[in-house]
């Protein structure tokens, strides 16, 4: 099914590796770390040479595949999503930026084609995902160092594997690292239809937690509400409903949230804080509204709320590769038990990347764009 040629990327977390970019019909030279050490193999990749609007700076180019070393793994990419962090990285306004020129994409799943003589952790046929950001997954194949990959079960759904390494990891860590929640406790979040939001709903349900899920109003709000509830959401509210006085009645039947997860900022985060239990924590992991988080003096003094931030890349820096692998395997077990599914996805062939990029930044699109490498 997936023998149609897929891809992967660079040999380090911050560079394209030793591959050479070749633009169709003309030569293209790049500075180090490239070297023309192999014949063209038909590898295709989505490359950007400058930061800017992804629709303008991302181009489909050809790569030459480097020769393998003893600790290297040759991987064909099967599928790779477009995440908000990917867009931010291309725009040049993310916390980590690969050296240019770079291949887009930080997440995805590939299949091992061949391994070097000293590789012991994976074998041909295995599925692997990136262990680090910046590998550049929007390509058909590449040679990676074994240490930059994590093996995952090949019997989980392809979309689940492709979207495993970022959003579910973020959701799990935020649910478990900031408050000692017990079954029956409540969590409130905004951007609940995002990839992280959908993972929060499912993981929280698996942990026995109750969720209040806030979304922006839209024409198909009932359809979205039904989908989120099918994932395990207890309550789905619009931003406008959250601001109404009647919200107080909600907490007659459930405890006030001890944990709030904020991906929006601005007024939306202020409303989350307003409903947070005394001593509770709001964790900010995104800023879709591009507005600051504002906490009133009374909330800080009289409710003693805590404001924290979370960035998965920093968590990885603070923890060992073995701890990240255990996190991945924990999530794989949830997938295997049917407690965690991929977010709503739309698969788009790599050559139609412009359509996928445009859809990924369009308002109210709840479907994650996944590039397939056929």
Residues with a known catalytic role: 94
Tokens standing for 106? 């930080």
DSSP state of 370: E
- Residue 129, beta-bridge partner list: 150
Compute the distance between CA of residue 120 and CA of residue 352 in angstroms, rounded to an integer.
Answer: 36
Longest dimension (CA), the chain: 68
Task: Compute the half-sphere exposure of residue 347: CA atoms within 13 Å on the CB side of its CA.
Answer: 11
DSSP helix/strand/coil, 230: helix
Give the dihedral sign, CA 107/111/116/122.
positive
Phi, psi of 32 (to 5 degrees): -50, 140
Give the dihedral sign, CA 360/365/368/374.
negative
Compute the distance between CA of residue 352 and CA of residue 341 in angstroms, rounded to an integer.
Answer: 25
């Amino acid at each position: 099914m997936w023998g149609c040629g897929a891809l992967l990327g660079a040999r380090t977390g911050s560079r394209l590796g030793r591959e050479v970019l070749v633009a169709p019909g003309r030569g293209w030279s790049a500075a180090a770390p490239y070297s023309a050490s192999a014949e063209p193999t038909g590898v295709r990749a989505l490359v950007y040479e400058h930061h800017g609007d992804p629709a303008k700076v991302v181009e489909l180019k050809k790569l030459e595949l480097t020769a393998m070393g003893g600790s290297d793994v040759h991987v064909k990419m099967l599928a790779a999503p477009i995440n908000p962090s990917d867009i931010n990285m291309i725009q040049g306004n993310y916390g980590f930026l690969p050296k240019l020129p770079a291949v887009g994409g930080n997440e995805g799943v590939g299949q091992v084609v061949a391994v070097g003589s000293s590789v012991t952790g994976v074998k041909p046929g295995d599925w692997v995902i990136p262990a680090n950001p910046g590998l550049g997954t929007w390509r058909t194949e590449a040679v990676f160092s074994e240490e930059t990959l994590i093996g995952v079960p090949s019997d989980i759904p392809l979309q689940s594997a492709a979207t495993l390494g970022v959003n579910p990891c973020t959701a799990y860590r935020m649910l478990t690292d900031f408050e000692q929640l017990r079954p029956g406790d409540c969590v409130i979040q905004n951007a609940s239809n995002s990839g992280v939001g959908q993972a929060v709903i499912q993981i929280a349900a698996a942990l026995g937690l109750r969720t209040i899920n806030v979304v922006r109003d839209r024409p198909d709000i009932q359809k979205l509400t039904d989908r989120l509830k099918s994932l395990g959401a207890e309550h789905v509210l619009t931003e406008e409903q959250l601001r109404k006085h009647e919200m107080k009645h909600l907490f007659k039947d459930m405890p006030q949230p001890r944990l709030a997860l904020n991906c929006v900022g601005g007024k939306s985060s202020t409303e989350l804080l307003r409903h947070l239990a005394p001593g509770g924590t709001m964790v900010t992991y995104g800023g879709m509204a591009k507005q600051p988080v504002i906490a009133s003096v009374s909330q800080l003094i009289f409710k003693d709320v805590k404001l924290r931030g979370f960035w998965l890349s920093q968590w990885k820096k603070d923890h060992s590769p073995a701890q990240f692998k255990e996190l991945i395997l924990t999530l794989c077990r949830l997938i295997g038990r049917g407690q965690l599914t991929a977010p709503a996805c739309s698969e788009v062939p790599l050559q139609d990347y412009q359509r996928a990029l445009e859809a990924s930044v369009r308002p109210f699109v709840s479907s994650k764009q996944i590039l397939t490498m056929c």
